[in-house]
Amino acid sequence: MKKNNLKEKTNEELIAEKEKTINELKDLRFKRVSGVIENPLKLRTLKRMIARINTILHLREIDKLKKELMEN
């Protein structure tokens, strides 16, 4: 999923996507320990996806706080 697609989603959709990605990462880690995984680079891409989602959520929270401060 591209970064632009993530920015278009709502916070609820991002949180759901983050949970799905975390579960997928957990499954891959378990498979890595128990045996061989098909694509070891998938771990890196999942971690980066989680980081992107966290960044977008954090930036939105900062913008919200800035708007509240400007109103007061």
Residue range 9-55, pLDDT digits in tens? 999 999 999 999 999 999 999 999 998 888 989 999 999 999 999 99
Instruction: Kindly list the domain boundaries of the chain, sorted by start residue.
Output: 8-71
Buried residues in 15-27 as b, exposed as e (16+ CB within 10 A): eebbeebeeebee
pTM: 0.87
CATH classification (class only), 8-71: mainly alpha
pLDDT at 36: 85
Query: Furthest-apart CA pair in the chain: how many Å?
Result: 57
Average pLDDT value for residue range 55-72: 93
